[in-house]
């Protein structure tokens, strides 16, 4: 038999920056069928007399150097049971799935260890008795200037001790304040770690709630199902406040008492001090929290502690997924629908899929949770690919905020041209009198300059793709999916009104309008501009938490995360704004954002109210978010996706082309579209485009895209293979960069 040689890339040092130093070896025939990325092998090194060990990171048919100069792998030392092996094998999966180089994948999965002295984490302890602390507390309560001291004291009274970094980043207590409290003898700062197991010891101090019957049942069934051999991922859909976090904690406790570890993924923006504190109160110093403010060194320290068994729980955003626990027993992903789980740098992995793959490699359950699951996840749960649990009632049936919907078309009709409806103005006035706080939310995510009619609410859409047309500055409207173009109309094609145009108000204009209407109100604005400088985000939030302002105006940044107990009114200025982004997921994002925004009001003891202003009050996304009715939203949205063949009902395969030569790109993409039609012998593909990308040119490079829709993954895969081959053998594509992407 004449078979080709196989070669293996071996990495001998994965502990430092030398990740890209790989060496290639010949795979002996005896290992052809068994050698896999992640295995530890013995290889000759240097002149051949030295033997060293290294990890296989890739097996390939293509030699990187002359075969004559290559040595052969001697032996497999270990099949891949170590944590390094499993992570390397995860990297290999990421490379395969998302298309990156193996080195890029390895760098994502294995933290680059900076050469620095390991710093011990500092902790803050209460240095006075609880009685004394109570008396300080009543002093602090008297002035809003002392609010951050109050937060620290509160945290210490309920959690005993907290990490310095949590006080700084999650509690937003500045270091001078901590220092001054230390000098007053109220707190003590120490790096001395007190090891203990809070589960065994002193259970009365650690807060632990009794689960409701439904919460308990879900926790039990997840664990029992796993033991019975049901290895599917689990999705918990539970309205905000139904007790998902309670279920997570129950599962975590079970896994930890089994001697295993837990990764809990929470989007950074939701990683607030209230959240973190709850986990500290229950699990104490078994926990480490990752966030983007940690330096690379600090972060790899945390990974080191996890590897050494010093901590049992890692909480953090998507990169926490790669924590090198020796015996991982559970992965939980909260707020599963959050877009921040999608990596935007290469490799562009999705944390949900990657978590599920890590679960397979580690043989551990994966639990996803959300009040508003992504269409993808819920669709799969409905089809039985995930186990599904649902909680539709809030704990103790606590009430949802009451919502008033305002039809902005009616406002215009009755002569109010302001972006603040009359009802909203009244409510704001009330709050200012009562000294309660409010948030005004401008929903302009991915704002793409659509054109709408202020009289009837009509939005100009593409006749072929059912997405809004985007306004280009040449006075034309363009579809980003199929390239359809039309001149911007001067009158509304539906009602003939002249009040048609782009929605221009930004947060800054709104701030001006609010200040003019309420000259005595203290206003804070949080948007891209005001958060640009370091810690800008945190500063605004802590100022608002300290009640230094009455009104917080902002984009979606303000609806996620922090709970402000004194906020009793949320105003959504134009709820349908984000519906009109030229993207098939606009409805899903709008529903998620609005559900969250409405849920912001009335988190504390004071009852909450929300005013939702919109031009499309009867749109299903708006209506179902106001009633927090996920199931209704899902039914309507999925039938729309089915009709239009968008994911998850269908696969959306994007072919992105970019080239400095516009003519060449145009020709190349046309050829591809024609080739697709030719090889689609069964006429099953829906081909859209070529069209300009939403940004048609970046740094003098032109960009175009073709979308292909099809339900059958294997048919699409065959098409993709043929396409790859066509591009490979046609020299015309030498100067065009082509990239494929599935379901972006």
Asked if 570 and 423 touch (Cβ cutoff 8 Å), the reply is no
Q: Cα separation of 7 and 377, whole Å?
A: 38
Strand (E) positions, 206-318?
234-238, 261-265, 287-289, 313-316
Within 74-93, which residues bind ligand ADP (CB under 6 A)? none
Residue 211 interacts, among Zn ion, ligand ADP, none and using kind-specific CB cut-offs from 5 to 8 Å, with ligand ADP
Show the site string, 156-195: x = touches ligand ADP by CB under 6 A, - = not: ----------------------------------------
Q: How many residues bind ligand ADP (CB under 6 A)?
A: 14
Which of these ranges, 243-251, 701-709, 711-719, 724-732, lies near ligand ADP under the rule CB under 6 A? 243-251
- Closest contact distance (angstroms) between CB of 371 and ligand ADP is 7
- Closest contact distance (angstroms) between CB of 282 and ligand ADP is 11
Which of these ranges, 238-246, 288-296, 480-488, 536-544, lies near ligand ADP under the rule CB under 6 A? 238-246
The reply to whether 392 sits near ligand ADP by the rule CB under 6 A is no
**How far is the CA of 402 from the CAs of 202, 607, 610, 672, in angstroms?**
41, 9, 6, 53
DSSP single-letter state for residue 30: G
Closest among 461, 459, 439, 447 to 524, alpha carbons compared: 439
Residue with Cβ nearer ligand ADP (395 or 528) = 395
Asked if 166 and 276 touch (Cβ cutoff 8 Å), the reply is yes
Residue selected from 215, 372, 458, 628 as contacting ligand ADP according to rule CB under 6 A:
215
Question: What's the angle, vertex CA 293, arms to CA 292 and CA 299, rounded to 5?
Answer: 70
Cβ neighbours around 268 below 10 Å, total: 17
Residue selected from 252, 271, 462, 470 as contacting Zn ion according to rule CB under 5 A:
462
Residue selected from 82, 270, 340, 497 as contacting Zn ion according to rule CB under 5 A:
497
**How far is the CA of 503 from the CAs of 33, 88, 485, in angstroms?**
61, 49, 20
**Residue indicated by tokens 């899902």:** 634
Which of these ranges, 234-242, 352-360, 570-578, 582-590, lies near ligand ADP under the rule CB under 6 A? 234-242
For the chain, give percent helix, strand, coil, nearest 5: 40, 20, 40
Which of these ranges, 130-138, 306-314, 461-469, 504-512, lies near Zn ion under the rule CB under 5 A? 461-469
Q: Cα separation of 339 and 358, whole Å?
A: 20
Structural tokens at position 116: 């620095």
Asked if 673 and 679 touch (Cβ cutoff 8 Å), the reply is no
Residue 238 interacts, among ligand ADP, Zn ion, none and using kind-specific CB cut-offs from 5 to 8 Å, with ligand ADP
Q: Cα separation of 121 and 135, whole Å?
A: 29
Which of these ranges, 235-243, 340-348, 461-469, 733-741, lies near ligand ADP under the rule CB under 6 A? 235-243
Asked if 90 and 75 touch (Cβ cutoff 8 Å), the reply is no
Residue selected from 182, 494, 636, 670 as contacting Zn ion according to rule CB under 5 A:
494
Residue 482 interacts, among ligand ADP, Zn ion, none and using kind-specific CB cut-offs from 5 to 8 Å, with Zn ion
The reply to whether 211 sits near ligand ADP by the rule CB under 6 A is yes
The reply to whether 246 sits near ligand ADP by the rule CB under 6 A is yes
- Closest contact distance (angstroms) between CB of 310 and ligand ADP is 27
Asked if 268 and 317 touch (Cβ cutoff 8 Å), the reply is yes
- Closest contact distance (angstroms) between CB of 22 and ligand ADP is 44
Within 467-486, which residues bind Zn ion (CB under 5 A)? 479, 481-482, 484
Residues forming contacts to Zn ion in the complex (CB under 5 A) are: 453, 455-456, 458, 462, 464-465, 479, 481-482, 484, 492, 494-495, 497
Residues forming contacts to ligand ADP in the complex (CB under 6 A) are: 209-212, 215, 238, 240-246, 395
């Amino acid at each position: 038999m004449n078979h080709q040689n196989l070669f293996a890339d071996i990495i001998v040092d994965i502990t430092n920056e030398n990740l890209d130093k790989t060496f290639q070896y010949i795979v002996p025939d005896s290992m052809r069928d068994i050698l896999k990325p992640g295995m530890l092998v013995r290889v000759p090194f240097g002149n051949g007399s030295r033997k060293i060990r290294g990890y296989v990171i890739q097996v390939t048919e293509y030699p990187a150097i002359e075969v004559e100069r290559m040595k052969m792998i001697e032996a497999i030392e270990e099949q891949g049971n170590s944590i390094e092996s499993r992570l390397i094998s995860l990297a290999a999966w990421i490379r395969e799935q998302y298309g990156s180089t193996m080195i890029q994948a390895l760098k994502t999965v294995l933290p680059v260890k900076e050469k620095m002295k390991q710093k011990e984490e500092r902790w803050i302890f209460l240095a006075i008795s609880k009685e004394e602390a109570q008396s300080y507390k009543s002093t602090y309560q008297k002035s809003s200037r002392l609010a951050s001291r109050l937060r620290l004291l509160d945290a210490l009274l309920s959690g005993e001790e907290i990490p310095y970094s949590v006080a700084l980043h999650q509690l937003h207590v500045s270091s001078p304040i901590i220092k001054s409290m230390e000098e007053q003898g109220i707190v003590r700062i120490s790096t001395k770690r007190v090891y203990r197991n809070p589960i065994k010891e002193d259970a009365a101090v650690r807060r632990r709630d009794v689960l409701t019957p439904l919460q308990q049942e879900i926790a039990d069934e997840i664990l029992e199902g796993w033991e019975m051999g049901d290895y599917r991922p689990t999705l918990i859909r539970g309205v905000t406040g139904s007790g998902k976090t309670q279920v997570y904690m129950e599962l975590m406790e079970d896994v930890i008492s089994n001697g295993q570890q837990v990764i809990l993924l929470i989007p950074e923006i939701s990683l607030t001090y209230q959240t973190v504190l709850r986990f500290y109160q229950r699990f104490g110093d078994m926990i480490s929290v990752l966030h983007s403010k940690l330096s690379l060194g600090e972060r790899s320290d945390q990974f080191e502690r996890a590897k050494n068994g010093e901590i049992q729980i890692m909480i953090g955003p998507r990169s926490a997924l790669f924590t090198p626990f020796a015996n991982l027993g559970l992965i939980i992903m909260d707020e599963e629908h959050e877009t921040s789980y999608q990596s935007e740098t290469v490799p562009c992995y999705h944390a949900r899929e990657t978590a599920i793959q890590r679960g397979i490699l580690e043989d551990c359950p994966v639990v996803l949770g959300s009040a508003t699951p992504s269409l993808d996840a819920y669709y799969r749960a409905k089809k039985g690919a995930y186990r599904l649990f649902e909680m539709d009632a809030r704990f103790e049936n606590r009430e949802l905020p009451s919502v008033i919907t305002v039809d902005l078309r009616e406002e215009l009709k009755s002569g109010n041209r302001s972006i603040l409806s009359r009802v909203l103005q009244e409510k704001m006035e009330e709050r200012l009198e009562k000294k309660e706080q409010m948030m005004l939310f401008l929903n302009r995510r991915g704002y793409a300059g659509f054109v709408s009619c202020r009289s009837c609410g009509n939005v100009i859409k593409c006749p072929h793709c059912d997405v809004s047309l985007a306004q280009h500055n040449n006075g034309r409207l363009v579809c980003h999916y199929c390239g359809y173009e039309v001149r911007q109309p001067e009158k509304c094609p539906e009602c003939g009104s002249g009040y048609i145009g782009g929605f221009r108000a930004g947060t800054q204009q709104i701030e001006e309008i609010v200040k003019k209407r309420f000259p005595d109100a203290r206003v804070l604005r949080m948007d891209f501009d005001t958060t640009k400088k370091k810690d800008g985000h945190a500063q605004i939030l802590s100022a608002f938490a300290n009640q230094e302002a009455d009104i917080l105006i902002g984009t979606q940044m303000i609806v996620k995360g922090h709970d402000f107990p004194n906020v009793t009114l949320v105003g959504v200025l134009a709820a349908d704004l984000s519906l009109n982004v030229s993207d098939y997921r606009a409805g899903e994002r709008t529903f998620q954002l609005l559900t969250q925004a409405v849920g912001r009001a009335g988190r504390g003891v004071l009852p909450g109210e929300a005013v939702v202003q919109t031009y499309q009050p009867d749109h299903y996304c708006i209506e179902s978010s106001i009633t927090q009715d996920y199931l209704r939203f899902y039914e309507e949205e999925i039938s729309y996706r089915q009709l239009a063949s968008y994911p998850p009902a269908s696969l959306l395969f994007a072919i992105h082309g970019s080239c400095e030569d516009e003519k060449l790109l145009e020709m190349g993409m046309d050829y591809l579209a024609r080739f697709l039609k030719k090889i689609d012998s069964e006429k099953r593909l829906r081909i859209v485009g070529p069209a300009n990308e939403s940004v048609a040119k970046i740094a003098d490079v032109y960009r175009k895209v073709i979308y292909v829709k099809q339900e059958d993954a294997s048919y699409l895969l065959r098409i993709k293979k043929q396409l790859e081959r066509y591009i490979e053998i046609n020299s015309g594509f030498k100067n065009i960069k082509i990239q494929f992407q599935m379901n972006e």
